[in-house]
């Protein structure tokens, strides 16, 4: 079931989670590895630089690559320790950018701390899983349709079907939809939530090999629909979606926490 397996769709927290995942925490003692114009570059700074540049843990980088990144970082320190850098630090735009970056880093660290404090019980996971199963369609459908611009055209086509004309031939002749050349066939099975609601509602009310006796209106025009087939779907097992459910619970709790902070402002 696509909607169960894709739990991140339209998630407002996605950007925050991606950013916070780049933070690198280490228990190793930081040590000075190079000095540039009397300013020390320490190992933790280099580790963070590598992670931001590669989106990988520093331990995944070879020794030669680490040296290359150190050279890059050296250039950063060279530029930022020139005499004119002191004046640039007074520029309001640069000061604002530094302030924003500092705030974002602290916010990311705070978010990470909150996520690590969340306890998720097996009961929470099971309840969320059951809700997802109940709220998602258990059937998929295969259908064809004839799309026309007006209700009167659709009624005329239904009358032709009633008189015994073939659905696929009428679709090729009258449909303005992209599936016309295929006799109106929409191809593979689809779940109701993949179609606009009036269309999916009509499909679910039909029996297999039955066409709609009244036109169905959507934002695209007027449809005459033929339900070709249907099948029951097998929901994913709890274990297969458990990591996604846990992440969804964390995201929900984090959003609740953010809302609480906003209310307390």
Q: Please give the class, per CATH, of domain 138-232.
A: alpha beta
CA distances for 232 relative to 129, 135, 260, angstroms: 19, 15, 42
The owner of tokens 């695209």 is 220
Quick check: helix, strand or coil at residue 220? coil
User: Residue range 37-47: average pLDDT?
Assistant: 94
Tell me if 128 sits within 8 A of 253, measured CB to CB.
no
- Could you read off the pLDDT of 162-212 as tens digits, one per residue? 999 999 999 999 999 999 999 999 999 999 989 999 999 999 999 999 999
Q: What is the pLDDT of residue 15?
A: 40
Q: Band of the pLDDT at 29, cuts 50, 70, 90?
A: low
Q: How many Å apart are CA 67 and CA 236, to the nearest integer?
A: 47
Contact between residue 199 and residue 207 where contact means Cβ atoms under 8 Å apart = no
Average pLDDT of the segment spanning 55-80: 94
Q: Are 197 and 209 in contact (CB under 8 A)?
A: no
Model confidence pLDDT, tens digit, residues 203-212: 999 999 999 9
The conformational region for residue 10 under phi > 0 = left, psi -120 to 50 = alpha, else beta, is: left
pLDDT band for 68, please (50, 70, 90 cuts).
Answer: very high
- Percent of the chain having pLDDT more than 90? 78
Average per-residue pLDDT for the chain? 88
Count the residues in the chain.
265
- The confidence score (pLDDT) of residue 86 equals 80
3-state helix, strand, coil in the chain (%, to 5): 55, 15, 30
Domain spans in the chain, listed from the N-terminal domain onward: 13-116, 138-232
For the ranges 51-55, 153-157, 183-187, which has the lowest average pLDDT?
Answer: 51-55
The pTM score is: 0.55
| Confidence at residue 9, expressed as pLDDT on a 0 to 100 scale | 37
Mean local confidence (pLDDT), 44-50: 93
């Amino acid at each position: 079931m696509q909607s169960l397996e894709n739990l991140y769709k339209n998630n407002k927290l996605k950007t925050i989670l991606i950013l916070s995942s780049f933070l690198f925490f280490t228990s190793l003692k930081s040590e000075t590895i190079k000095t540039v114009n009397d300013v020390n570059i320490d190992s933790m700074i280099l580790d963070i630089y590598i992670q931001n540049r590669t989106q990988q843990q520093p331990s995944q980088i070879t020794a030669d690559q680490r040296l290359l990144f150190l050279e890059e970082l050296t250039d950063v320190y060279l530029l930022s320790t020139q005499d004119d850098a002191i004046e640039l630090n007074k520029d309001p735009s640069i000061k604002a950018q530094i302030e924003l970056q500092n705030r974002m880093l602290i916010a990311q660290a705070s978010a990470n701390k909150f996520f690590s404090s969340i306890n998720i019980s097996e009961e929470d996971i099971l309840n969320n899983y059951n809700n997802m199963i109940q709220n998602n369609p258990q059937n998929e459908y295969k259908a064809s349709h004839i799309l026309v611009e007006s209700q009167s055209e659709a009624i005329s086509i239904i009358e032709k079907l009633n008189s015994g004309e073939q659905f696929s031939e009428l679709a090729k002749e009258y449909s303005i939809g992209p599936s016309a050349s295929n006799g109106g066939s929409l191809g593979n099975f689809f779940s109701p939530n993949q179609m606009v609601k009036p269309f999916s509602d009509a499909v679910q009310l039909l029996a297999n090999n039955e066409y709609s006796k009244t036109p169905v209106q959507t934002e695209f025009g007027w449809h005459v629909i033929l339900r070709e087939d249907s099948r029951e779907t097998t929901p994913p097992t709890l274990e297969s979606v458990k990591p996604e459910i846990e992440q969804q619970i964390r995201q929900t709790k984090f959003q609740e926490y953010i809302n609480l902070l906003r209310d307390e402002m």
